[in-house]
Amino acid sequence: MIDIKLIRENPELVKENMKKKFQDEKLPLVDKVKKLDEDWRKLKYEEDGLRSERNKISEEINKAKKEKKNVSKLLKKAKEIPGKILKMREKRKKMEGEILELQEKIPNIMSKNVPIGKDDSENVDDRRIGKPRKFDFEVKSHVEIAENLGMADFESSARVAGTGYYYIEGDLALLNVALTNFARDVMVSKGFRYVETPYMLKEEIMNQVTDLHDQENMVYKIENDGTFLIGTSEHSLIGRYAGQEVNEKELPIKQTSYSMCFRKEIGAHGIDEKGLFRTHQFNKIEMIVICNPNVKESEKYYQELQDITVEIFEKMEIPVRVLKICSGDLGDLKYEQIDVEAWSPRRKNYFEVGSCSNLTAAQAKKLKISTRIKGERMIPHTLNNTAIATSRALVAILENNQQKDGTIKIPKVLWKYTGFKELKPKKKK
């Protein structure tokens, strides 16, 4: 959420930022917020004036009583003031709600490093790590590979749960667990505190960690219970600090968590209608950072976070690229974002396996997270990143490491977690 002080002092900067995001229709919101804020401050000044007058009258009444003078007029005047203050406070609170509602619609100021573009077609290929392998046989899809191995059953999952779910078993399921353990150990070695979180959140917390669009299109609500299933452990990790003042000595807070994730979204009909790529339920290692409100510091952690995801896939010898998200595709709370994408030999293109965002103070402000730096109350910066979504990593491994004989080579870095070096087709009885 944008800082009201910035709208007061530099509304043109806020408007220019909107234009770069191709949100010209929102430009009037800046002037509307500015006017409401001016009216609010004027009302607050008058309210404070009435309080001052009330105190002054109280002193006059006490003095008059000591001097045994008639205080009836003063008492009458004093009795009128609380009612006036109450009306002003109610009006001011209503205005505060209107201002906050409008503030949430105004995008966070973007980094100068964000490429300017209208939509995801103008995202920028920033760097590539690893070279795609050349195959001398016809590349199979991960669905065909997994089914040929006898380790995935998408028909049964569709029958018992619907499209967007899966059964995986045997060594493929063990590989899934290995990916979780491997990524967890990498995160812990990087100084992140491992946390197990709730998979369900109260409505008031979910309202703070997601927006209405996400709730309608992504998050599952438990009817008659007032709770939601998390779409990512980031919801639980950052939601834990909502409404809290974080001790400066605890910063930076660096946490990581494994969770089952639940999302309504599902891919378009066709290539990914069944399989592991886009599902309603999946496993993920997520990470967050809460740090001092200093752009240079949050930019440092932003680089650190994305490098961790790249390192995880690099160690698994999966070719990846880092994609800079352009202004028109950047979420309103975000200062900057990159996606990490893995190579798909079947598509002959890259697909998303992780996403890293620096939200500066925008998210913490919305969540009412604060800290005190040398006694001054300030809003910390927050960041989040996907270390690994294991189902997407499985897609990358199955496709990139497939062999002509139908076996799948396991990345060497995972051998100590799996206890085996390849996936072999299940022997038919």
Q: Which residues pair with 337 in a beta bridge?
A: 357
Secondary-structure percent of the chain, ordered helix, strand, coil, rounded to 5: 45, 20, 35
pTM over 0.85: yes
Burial of 159 (0-12, 13-18, 19+ CB in 10 A): exposed
Per-residue pLDDT of the chain (429 residues; tens, 9 = 90+): 888 999 999 999 999 999 999 999 999 999 999 999 999 999 999 989 988 888 888 888 888 888 888 888 888 888 888 888 899 999 999 999 999 999 989 999 999 999 999 999 999 999 999 999 999 999 999 999 999 999 999 999 999 998 889 999 999 999 999 999 999 999 999 999 999 999 999 988 988 887 766 667 788 888 888 899 999 999 999 999 999 999 999 999 999 999 999 988 754 443 456 889 888 999 999 999 999 999 999 999 999 999 999 999 999 999 999 999 999 999 999 999 999 999 999 999 999 999 999 999 999 999 999 999 988 999 999 999 999 999 999 999 999 999 999 999 999 999 999 999 999 987 765
> CA-CA distance, 22 to 12, in Å (whole number)?
15
Evaluate whether 4-103 and 120-423 have a shared fold.
Answer: no
- Ramachandran quadrant class, 226 (left: phi over 0; alpha: psi -120 to 50; beta: rest): left
- Would you state the CATH architecture of domain 4-103? Orthogonal Bundle (1.10)
Domain ranges in the chain? Answer: 4-103, 120-423
Per CATH, the number for 120-423 is 3.30.930.10
Count other Cβ atoms within 10 Å, centred on residue 179.
26
Quick one: tokens of 351? Answer: 């697909």
Q: In angstroms, rounded to a whole number, what is the distance separating the alpha carbons of residues 21 and 195?
A: 36
